Amino acid sequence: MRKILIVFLLLCGCASYHSPERATWSTHLRGASFTDMNATSIAAKTPIYLGDGGRTVRDAIENSPKMEYGDPESNTAAMYVGYMSALESSLYDALRRPGLSVQRAGTDVVIIMVRDAIMELNAPDISDVGDENLATIAKILKKYDAAFVEIAGYTDSMRDANAARAFTLDMAQRVGVYMALHGIKNSRMFIVGRGSARPIASQDEWGRLTNRRIEIRLSPVR
């Protein structure tokens, strides 16, 4: 009996991840915001996240200095920069893989993942490589939990703007569901599909592959 249990556990550990049925997504994503992450939406979401057990950057930094000297505003800004720099460094070291990049955008940190680095080539689901990549990201985000998470889907130029938005929202929601199932609080998350907006490469054959992507933008909880 013990041998059977061990074999069962090994098989479960090796099983590929598959997105849950679409009908369950609203349940898995309950509490996530389906809007752009901006100053207004962050201000509205902050008390919700804190009420859900979330932390601010100040709360997250153990033994943080009292900052009795110098300009308080500058000291506070430096605290946010330090926290996000540590988060960026952890992500950069862990995500040196094809199709992934980590960048800074002011105080925020952005993870760019081309579609082929997270999704099946010919199916709308997360691939085994994507499972590995997203699991790495989720583990780091659970450690650095004083940051909001915007998951935005993008694609190359398509004739039908509505189809492009639906395609990219599907990708973003799949990643959001994955994160929710791997311990990321829904009250941290913003999920959007931006269609073919904001291309980062040309629209030639290789550029289109780059423009089909997910961006995870991380912003400090103040």
Residue 81 in any domain: the answer is yes
Residue 48 in any domain: the answer is yes
What's the pTM? 0.88
Predicted pLDDT at 208: 61
Domain membership of residue 111 as a residue range: 23-220
Q: How many domains does the chain have?
A: 1
Residue-wise pLDDT for 158-201, tens only, equals 768 889 999 999 999 999 999 999 999 999 999 999 998 887 76
Q: How many CA atoms lie within 13 A of 184 on its CB side?
A: 29
Residue-wise pLDDT for 128-167, tens only, equals 999 999 999 999 999 999 999 999 999 987 768 889 999 9
Residue 173 in any domain: the answer is yes
Residue 38 in any domain: the answer is yes
pLDDT for 6 beyond 50: no
Residue-wise pLDDT for 45-58, tens only, equals 999 999 999 999 99
Residue 9 in any domain: the answer is no
Residues with Cβ within 8 Å of 201's Cβ and at least 6 positions away in sequence, in order, are 207, 208, 210, 211
Work out the number of other CB atoms within 10 angstroms of the CB of residue 168: 25
- CATH number of domain containing 36: 3.30.1330.60
**Higher-pLDDT residue of 202, 38:** 38
Predicted pLDDT at 93: 97
Residue 99 in any domain: the answer is yes
Query: Which residues face 86 on adjacent strands?
Result: none
Residue 200 in any domain: the answer is yes
Structure tokens at 50: 């804190």
How far is residue 47's CA from residue 57's CA, in Å, rounded to a whole number? Answer: 14
Residue 70 in any domain: the answer is yes
